[in-house]
Structure formats: C-alpha cells, structure tokens
Amino acid sequence: MHHILTSILLGIVEGLTEFLPVSSTAHLLVSEHILNAPDGQWEAFTIVIQLGAILSVVAVYWGKFWKVLVGLPSERDARHFTAAVIVAFLPAAIAGLALKDVINGYLLRPDFAMPVIAVSWVLGGLLILFFERIAPRPRFTDGDRLPLMKAFQIGLCQIVAILPGVSRSGATILGGELLGVERKAAAAFTFYLAVPTMLGATVLELYEKWPELSHAGWTDISIGFVTSFAVAYTVVKSFIAFVGRYGLKPFGWYRVAAGLALGVYLLAR
C-alpha cells in the first residue's frame, strides 16, 4: 500500500511539473528524498513515468504531428517545422551526451543536488520575475514557423536545464521571449521540442538502467505511468492559455518560495 501511494504521488509530481517552468527533476529528487524512496527501484521508476509525460504531449498534439509526418515529402511547412525542431534539439542532445557522466555521477547526487536545487529555484525565480519585465516586444508569433536560427537559439537555452533545479520549459520559454518570440508561441514550440529531447534522454536512461527495471515492481510503475500521463495531459492542454493570460510570474514567485522553504529545511537538518 505504501508503494502504491508513493507511485501515485510521484506520478502526480512528474505530471504536474514536467512542462511547468519549475523543474520536474528537482521536484522528483526532493519528493523521493521526503518520501524516503531513493533506492534503485524508484530511480528506474522515475525514468518510466517521464515517458508517460512525453506521451501526453504526443496525445495532445497528435493531429499536428501526424499532419507534419504525412506532409514531409511534399509540404514546405512540414519540412520547415521538422527542421526547426531538429536544430533546436541538437545542442542539448550533444551537451547531454558529453556531460552525462558528470550529471549522473555528481550533479544528481542527493547530497550535492539538494543545495543546488534550493539555490537554482530561488535564482531561477528571480530571473523569471526580472526577465518577464524586460522582455522585448515579440516579433515572432507562430511557434510552428520559427526561423531556423531562432529555433537553434532556443535550443541553446535548453542546455542550462542540465543543472538540477533549472527548468527545461522555463529556459526555452523565457529564452524565447528574450529572443523576441511571443510567449504562447514559445510555449507551443517548447512542447514540440520536448518530444525528441525527453524521448531521447528517456530511451538512453532506460537502456542504461535496464537491470534495475528488470527487477522493478511493474504494478507500481504502471500506476505511476498512468498517473503521470493523465496529470501531464491536463497540464499540457491548459498551460499555453494560462501562460498567455498570466505569464511566467506566478511560477517565478513559486520557485522563490519553494527554494527558500527547501533551504530552511536543509539548514534545520
């Protein structure tokens, strides 16, 4: 019963935070720490529930992705869309492969990651609040038709999400805004970019963690997977409208509060 409840809670955390600018990796690490679930089984578990979140994007944008796939041989817009996602994906893919050992062996160690997460949450929140105020007037309003150079620059912004506590979606949306991309367009492109980025990282992790997965509790994993998919689906469906209306400031204030709370918790221990 304890494992089932932990599976549901971690699935909710993953589904809620994967596409919000608050860092899902940080929330999962903190949640696992609080729930006393840092062993190999739960490490493998979190990899699989990330796949549930990825599939939620595919489900929401299935019509879009199918239209692009069918139109690749003959439609210019479909080829441009695909090229934009690929050039945006490459910087983080290359950096992730190059720094994989550092990330897994050092950055994600709980004793190192927790203080870094607390600082990253606070600094990231303050940066969101500051950059939201100075972002230039948008010049690009269609996330489906961004210039390739603009897509590549957004992809460069995604690299900073390698650090625990730095949000991939926050980096790309905020980076897009500073590059003159309208907020809702940047959010839409962030969802498109999430599919190859997260899918590639998840497949690599699944390959490397397969021994742990082969001994994992598949009932717990299935519960977490379904929970993550359902929650993330709801978030993806509503996030762009929310960001268009309120911007990223609510997430900035949340990050500052969460970082301060985690810092107090760590000092108290």
CA atoms 100, 65, 26, 163: torsion sign: positive
| 123 pLDDT tier (thresholds 50, 70, 90) | very high
Compare 262 and 269 and report the one with higher pLDDT.
Answer: 262
- Rounded Cα distance, 231 and 227, in Å: 6
Lowest mean pLDDT among 36-40, 130-134, 145-149, 263-267: 36-40
Q: What percent of the chain has pLDDT over 90?
A: 57
> Tell me, what DSSP letter sits at residue 140?
B
Q: pLDDT tens digits, residue range 163-202?
A: 777 888 999 999 999 999 999 999 999 999 999 988 888 8
What pLDDT, on a 0 to 100 scale, did the predictor assign at position 269? 77
Mean pLDDT estimate for the chain: 87
pLDDT band of residue 98 (cuts 50, 70, 90) is: confident
At residue 212, the pLDDT reads: 65
Q: What is the pLDDT at residue 220?
A: 79
Distance CA 266, CA 39 (A): 20
Does residue 66 register a pLDDT over 80?
Answer: yes
Q: Is 65 a residue whose pLDDT tops 70?
A: yes
Question: Which residues, in sequence order, are CB contacts of 66 under 8 Å at separation 6+?
Answer: none
pLDDT tier for residue 104 given thresholds of 50, 70 and 90: low
Supply the pLDDT for residue 140: 94
Asked if pLDDT for residue 210 goes beyond 80, the answer is no
Residue 140's DSSP bridge partners are 181
Segment among 105-114, 130-139, 237-246 with least mean pLDDT: 105-114
Region 209-216: mean pLDDT is 64
pLDDT value at 78 more than 90:
yes
Task: Supply φ then ψ for residue 19, to 5 degrees.
Answer: -110, 5
pLDDT of residue 31: 87
Q: What is the mean pLDDT of residues 40-48?
A: 69
Looking at the DSSP bridge assignments, the partners of residue 181 are 140
Q: What is the pTM of this model?
A: 0.89
Confidence band for 29, pLDDT divided at 50, 70 and 90: confident
Q: Tokens representing 183?
A: 């907020």
Q: What is the mean pLDDT of residues 14-43?
A: 81
